[in-house]
Every structure is written in structure tokens, then in C-alpha cells.
Amino acid sequence: MPRFTVHVRDEWLTVPCKDATCSIKWLGFEALKRYIKNKPDNGGIQHIKDVHFGVKRCQGLGLLDNDDTIEDVLEDNDFVELGNITNMVYMFSVCREIDYISLDGNSLTSTDLVNLGKGLYKIKLTLEAEQKVVQSRELLDTIVKENKVVYGITTGFGKFARTVIPVSKLKELQENLLRSHSSGLGSPLSPERTRMLLALRINVLAKGLSGISLETLHRMIQAFNASCLSYVPEKGTVGASGDLAPLSHLALGLMGEGQMWSPKSGWADSKYVLEAHGLKPISLKPKEGLALINGTQMITSLGAEAVERAEAIAQQADIIAALTLEVLKGTTKAFDSDIHELRPHPGQKEVALRFRSLLDSDHHPSEIAESHRFCDRVQDAYTMRCCPQVHGIVNDTIEFVKKIINTEINSATDNPMVFAERGETISGGNFHGEYPAKALDYLAIGVHELASISERRIERLCNPSLSELPAFLVNEGGLNSGFMIAHCTAAALVSENKVLCHPSSIDSLSTSAATEDHVSMGGWAARKALRVVEHVEQVLAIELLAACQGIEFLRPLRTTTPLEKVYDLVRATVKPWIKDRFMAPDIEAVHRLLVDQKVWNIAGPYIEKYCMEYIPESRPSSPTAFALDPPPSPRKRVRLE
């Protein structure tokens, strides 16, 4: 009898199948039945018969058709995942109530962009943005009417900038531009990332400096709001003059050519997907093809996701490291506020503050800390003692990169620029991706260090000569291997990151017959930054699993309240390691907790409360907005440090 492992939210479920002619839809419902069986609230699912979901392979993330039979598309022991689980009874009311983000080209943030990618918002333009778009288009129409020679409007592109194109062929000029430049390769961007790319391009066009027509821009917005998303290969941009290949693929689908995806249709020919949603393809006017593809939006949209995920994992890394320090019976002395005032980097001070708020103090006493108060250990290893210094610079790096990404998000990166008030177009180089490329190389180098130091802490947890715990955190060692290879996985990911941290933006290759003779290579900078961040998340997931397993050997002693809450969160998803079992699903489940920021959501309020009680005048608006003035140090120890 074939068996399948199905990932539903944060759980992995094994589903046996007596009849391989059953459909993928049947498999999904069987997994859902098992998922809600032991949930007191049925996992929030009201009526299982009315549930809508999508099924995809875990390997390669290929979408499966619910009507296909299992024997046709799956093999025994395949892994699949259920996504977009929604009660259809409520689906339409939810869609009607979805919020809008008004774009004006000046106020979008990386957080907004990631949320747009997740489909949490739809888009509309501000009235001011619409007026600017109309004004710039009127200037272009005048240029065409008066037969002026202007780059990209009445001439060819790149090396062909001096070739004047007849007015009768200007539409064909723009269409040929998109077709010829749609030369990317590789896997397509996910729907989430394509949504981000499209939203960001709309935001830039909303500035009214590109010469796009309001009609075309509205059709782009309609496509975004319907989640009609073009097939955009991830490879092919050199990051100047803009992300030409991926943005061409994005525009090609909107033009009704190539492939497109939507939740309703899956992958299909673009013209049919648009028709299915009652949408019309865009019809290009002079300069509009160029307006759709000049810019750094591929680099910047992927960079926005990278910096947002980096920020989230950096916050949670402090919590995980604090839990490891508890398990390894470390001291809080290294986080004394007076130490960090002597080297007052903002990130370092913030990390030390978080450690003080989570570890043993009068605010949150710890039985584990009390148990070793009079031990003869003088100081801890660097991987614990130096967390504020190592994690701190990561925080400061992320803040620096986020500022550049947010500036880039709201920048005009087209060429030529259309200045309606001046009545002229000006060619420049804002399409060059060096700013986000350099910043994202820096982000990769910075955030990697969280995994590097985490892997060393995993080693200390697994090594009995360093941890005073059973080898590899399991009883009956030899019969059981415990966390032996989980640590190897962490080491492998850290080693991969060392290669991925090599900067791509230090490279350049001349293109377009030496017209574009210096480029940023920012597309690869963004893609590998994302991969580095994902590896960091996975290494820290392994550390969190190992630290929680270490707690099992210290029971009945308890750690501090916030760290116990983190332990409870993990244990609600992954059981203690009594004997060897299939470990990969456990790591993936905890990785998902980190991606969804659930560890931060559990511990963050305790950190905020600590800050507010010790610094009454500080009232942070969010868990990330803590004041960095030091609260009093934890209660003094009797032992020598």
C-alpha cells in the first residue's frame, strides 16, 4: 500500500492509500481529517467539506491538479504540501473586505511590499499619482506628434539609439523590445515574488516620470488585484540597464503573450488567463515598452524579502541563543548594561537588552540559573558571551541595508526620465543596480554570521564534554544517534553560505556592444542573499530544536517564563526526542515557526514589557521599537565571574 507524507500548516502527516486511483483532492482531504482530529478547535476549520486548498510537491514546489489521480502524478513515499487552506463559505466575504494600499511612488516600504507579495492587500493609485501619470504621458504624445528624435521613444535602444523609427512602427518597436528582451532562463519566480515584482513596478510608474499611460497602468493594477502573474524566470539580469530580462517577461504576460498564472487557472497561456478574469491585454503606446522594463525592481523586490526575513530571524536568533545559554548553564554577567555602554553600538546594546529581558533576573527568575549559581566557572565561551557583539552588528547591518532598499523602492529608475513640468526628457543612469546590489552583498555577509555562531552553539549542545548533557542530546547513545547529523546539516549550510557570501557586485561584464559597459550583477546578489537568509533560518531552527531537547535533561528545573513559552511553542509542534525518528520534518516544522515569526510573537511581548517597566518613559509602538538606554542590570550574583 503506497504511503504519502503531507505537510499541513506546521504538521507532517502520513496518509496511506489503498486505492492509487484516488484523486489528489482525496489525499488532501484525508490529510486535513488527520490534522483536525486532535485539534480542540478543529484547527480553525469550520466545515471540512467546504475547504478550498492547493496541493504542491515539496520537491520543486510543483503545483498538482486536484482532479489528477495519485498513481498518475505521485510515487510511493512522495512528500506533498497543502497550502492556501480556506473555508469556501467565508472566502468571498474575505475577498470583499481585503484592504488596499494606495501607491504614489513615494511611500511604499519593504514591509508593505512583502505583504503585497503575500496577497494581503490590493492596489490602487492616489489621485495625485494619476495626475502626474497623465501629465507625463501628454508630454510624450506631444514629442511623437512633433516628430522629435528622443531615445527610446522615436529611436531604437542601446547600440541602436541613433536609429530613428517611423511613427507608423512605434507600437511594433515597443512590442519587439519586450519580445526580444524576454530572454531569461531558470525556474520562474514564485507567485509571491512575482506579485512583489509587479507591485514594485507599478509603484515606480506611479511616480509619473516614466511616460506610461494611465490606461496601461490601470490594466497592470487590475492584473495584480486578480493575481494574474506572468512567467518570470529568475536568471538573466545583469542589473543594468535595469532588470531588463525579468521585467520584459513580466510585461510580456500583461501583453497577452507567454505564460501566466492565477489561482483560478494555474499556468496557462497569458491571453486565456486574462480572458478568464475579464481583463484586456495592454496595448503599447510609444515608449511604454521601455517604461515597463527599465529599472531595478527585480533586485529590489527580492532584496525587500531578504531584508525583511533577515530582520525577523535576527530578532529570533537572540531568543534562541538565550535559550541555549540557559541549557549550557551560562551566566548573564556578560550582558551587564555597563559593559555595553562602554562600546555603545546600537545593535550591540539592543541585543544585550534582549538577553537581559529573557534571562534570569528579579523580573524573570530561572530555576536552571539558580541551580548553578555557585559553580566554579569563570566565564562562558565566545559563542555565548559575545552574542551582543556578533548579533549586534547583524542588526546594524540589516538597518543599513533596509534604509537603502526602502529608498530604492520609492526611486525613479527609468530612462529616459519624463519631466512634465520642464517639458523635456533627460537620459540618465538611475537604472544601474549598484546601490541595492552592494547592499544585498553586505546583507548576506552580515546575516551569515548568525548561522556561523549558531552552528558553534549546536556543537556545544551536542558535545558531552562541553554541555554536561548526553552525547547528541539523546539517551541510549549508539543505539540512537540523536542530533548527530542535524549538526552536520547545520555545518553544511554554514559552509554553503561561506561561498554564497562572495560578493557578486564586485564583478562586471560589458554588454550591449559596450554601450552598457559596467553592470551591477545585482540579480544574483539578491537571489543569493535570499538563499543565505534561508540557510540562516534553517540553522537556527536546528539550534532551537537542540536547545529544547537539552531542556528535557534539566527537568524538573524550569527556565524563565518567556523561554518556557518558547519551549511550549516548539513542543506544540515537535515532540521530545525519546528515540531516533525521521528528523527532517521536525526541522522543517520549526523552520516554519521562524519564518512565520512565531517565536518572536511569543517572546517579543515579554521583551517589550521588560523595557516598559524598567524605562517607564519609553512606550515602544511595536516589539522592534525598543529604547536602547539600559535598564538596571540583572540581580547581582554571589559567585565570582
Collapsed DSSP state (helix, strand, coil) of residue 195: helix
- C-alpha dist (Å) from residue 511 to 66, 143, 159, 501, 520: 45, 29, 10, 25, 12
Distance (Å, whole) CA 303 – CA 447: 13
* C-beta of residue 492 within 8 angstroms of C-beta of residue 573: no
Q: Which of 121, 151, 442, 606 is catalytic?
A: 151
The DSSP-derived string for 311-373 is HHHHHHHHHHHHHHHHHTT--SGGG-HHHHHTS--HHHHHHHHHHHHHSSSSSS--HHHHHTT
Distance (Å, whole) CA 360 – CA 382: 19
Beta-carbon count within 10 A of 341 CB: 12
- Residue 577, Cα to own-chain centre: how many angstroms? 30
Choose among 153, 134, 45, 597: nearest CA to 415: 153
Bridge partners of 8?
11, 82
Collapsed DSSP state (helix, strand, coil) of residue 124: strand
374: exposed, middle or buried (Cβ count in 10 Å: 0-12, 13-18, 19+)? exposed
Element (H, E) at 553: none
* C-beta of residue 432 within 8 angstroms of C-beta of residue 411: no
DSSP 480: B
- Residue 576, Cα to own-chain centre: how many angstroms? 29
State the virtual CA torsion across 86, 91, 95, 97 in degrees, nearest 10.
Answer: -100
Choose among 381, 380, 540: nearest CA to 448: 540
- C-alpha dist (Å) from residue 441 to 94, 200, 502, 531: 39, 21, 8, 12
- C-alpha dist (Å) from residue 196 to 95, 117, 211, 260, 395: 19, 5, 22, 15, 24
Helix axes 561-571, 297-327, angle to 10 degrees: 110
- The amino acid that residue 426 corresponds to is I
Element (H, E) at 14: strand 11-16
Catalytic annotation on 567? Answer: no
The DSSP-derived string for 519-551 is ---HHHHHHHHHHHHHHHHHHHHHHHHHHHHHH
* Residues 6+ positions from 146 with CB-CB distance below 8 Å: none
DSSP 435: H
User: Can you read off the three cell numbers belonging to residue 212?
Assistant: 506610461
Q: Which residues are the active-site residues?
A: 151
